[in-house]
């Protein structure tokens, strides 16, 4: 067996062995009990004779240099570029997933024959690209936690920031383990209905809310995204509950309200009407949120100073075209920028 293949046979973190050679995985809120030869809900963690292995360690399937605004993060290192990586797999089965080709691993046995790339090589490539950060994104970073964690620790030493773009379905232990190295996260709050999570994602709401609260308490910069799907999570009641939850944590947390485009199993649905997005934004502002943006549409992506009202950051197609934040302050009135400008 090649050394690279041996390197990629990574023992998983966050599991307990059982007397019958089964294992209990507690990486995420599913808390899978996995029998020998089987994988968990995510399809990328396998029990091999009582030892849980990651099947995707060192096996990225997507690597790109992106504007950080694409994550979306509007208040973390604005105008910078982030080196984005993903593997296969997810611990949700969202019927509206727009990256389903990589997130949804087939039920049949998969040998994951993907070229190995070491954490060291990922960090070097990120540095060579001029990125200021590495984003673990496109699919759910929880399912390649071991790989992400090793990269995070190396990246931190090289003064690169680390970002999770996540569904928030991590365990408390996983969040606390990565928190010393994790600088920011965009967390999907897909709905404020547990029924929605169970029907469309095969998960539940409370663990996501717990993760948002925990990351906020640990000082990780967070921004929240809600994809508004017509007829499913777009009621004014639910959007009000979402906005009030965020505002109850911190009114400075940016809320990204994104337009749904039909995809995957919801291909027969319609696009979100712009009026629905505008209503949602109004609900967020009424709840006291200071930074509410619309996503997947043009407009409502600029940042104004909350004190003097002047333009702080102008964005065109997810790229910053004007930045009036200097040394972490509004260049007009010197009010502090509500976000992170440097690491």
Q: Is the peptide bond before 72 cis (omega within 30 degrees of 0)?
A: yes
Q: Which residue has the tokens 């944590």?
A: 249
Instruction: Supply the DSSP string of 232-292, one letter for each residue.
Output: TS--HHHHHHHHHHHHHH-TTS-EEEEE----GGGTTSPPPPHHHHHHHHHHHHHTT-S-E
Q: Give per-residue pLDDT as tens, 283-315.
A: 999 999 999 999 998 778 999 999 999 999 999
Whole-angstrom Cα distance, residue 30 to residue 207? 10
What residue spans define the domains of the chain? 3-54, 62-301
Whole-angstrom Cα distance, residue 68 to residue 84? 9
Q: Give per-residue pLDDT as tens, 98-122.
A: 999 999 987 766 667 899 999 999 9
Q: Give per-residue pLDDT as tens, 206-254.
A: 999 999 999 999 999 999 999 999 999 999 999 999 999 999 999 999 9
Average pLDDT of 65-82? 97
Instruction: Supply the DSSP string of 133-151, one letter for each residue.
Output: EEEE-SS-GGGGHHHHHHH
133's tokens: 């950060």
Topology of domain 62-301, per CATH? TIM Barrel (3.20.20)
Judged against a pLDDT cut of 60, whether residue 4 lies above it is answered with: no
Q: Which residue has the tokens 């994988």?
A: 39
End-to-end CA distance of the chain: 41
What's the pLDDT score for residue 8? 53
Q: Phi/psi class of residue 168: alpha, beta or left (left: φ > 0; alpha: ψ in -120 to 50)? A: left
| pTM metric for this prediction | 0.95
Strand, coil or helix: what is 336?
strand
Nearest alpha-carbon partner for 145 in 162, 125, 127: 162
Nearest alpha-carbon partner for 80 in 145, 126, 117, 122: 126
Whole-angstrom Cα distance, residue 342 to residue 68? 13
């Amino acid at each position: 067996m090649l050394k690279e293949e041996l390197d990629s046979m990574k023992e998983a973190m966050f599991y307990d062995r059982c007397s019958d050679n089964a294992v209990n995985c507690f990486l995420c809120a599913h808390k899978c009990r996995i029998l020998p030869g089987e994988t968990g809900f995510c399809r990328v963690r396998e029990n091999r004779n009582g030892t849980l292995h990651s099947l995707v360690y060192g096996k990225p399937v997507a690597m790109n240099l992106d504007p950080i605004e694409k994550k979306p993060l509007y208040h973390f290192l604005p105008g910078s570029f982030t080196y984005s990586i993903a593997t296969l797999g997810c611990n949700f089965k969202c019927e509206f997933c727009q990256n389903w080709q990589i997130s949804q691993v087939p039920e049949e046995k998969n040998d994951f024959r993907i070229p190995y790339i070491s954490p060291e090589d990922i960090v070097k490539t990120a540095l060579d690209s001029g990125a200021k950060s590495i984003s673990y994104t496109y699919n759910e970073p929880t399912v390649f936690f071991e790989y992400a964690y090793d990269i995070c620790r190396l990246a931190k030493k090289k003064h690169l920031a680390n970002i999770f773009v996540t569904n928030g379905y991590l365990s408390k232990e996983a969040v606390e383990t990565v928190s010393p190295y994790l600088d920011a996260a965009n967390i999907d709050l897909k709905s404020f209905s547990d029924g929605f999570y169970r029907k469309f994602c095969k998960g539940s709401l409370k663990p996501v809310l717990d993760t948002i609260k925990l990351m906020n308490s640990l000082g990780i910069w967070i921004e929240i995204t809600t994809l508004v799907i017509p007829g499913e999570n777009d009621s004014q009641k639910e959007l009000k509950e979402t906005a009030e939850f965020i505002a109850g944590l911190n009114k400075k947390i940016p809320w990204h309200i994104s337009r749904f485009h039909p995809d995957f199993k919801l291909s027969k649905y319609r696009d979100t009407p712009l009026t629905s997005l505008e209503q949602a934004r109004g609900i967020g502002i009424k709840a006291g949120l200071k930074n509410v943006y619309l996503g997947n549409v043009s407009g409502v992506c600029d940042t104004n100073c909350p004190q003097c009202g002047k333009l702080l950051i102008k964005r065109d197609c997810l790229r910053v075209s004007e930045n009036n934040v200097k040394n972490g302050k509004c260049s007009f009135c010197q009010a502090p920028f509500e976000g992170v400008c440097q690491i």
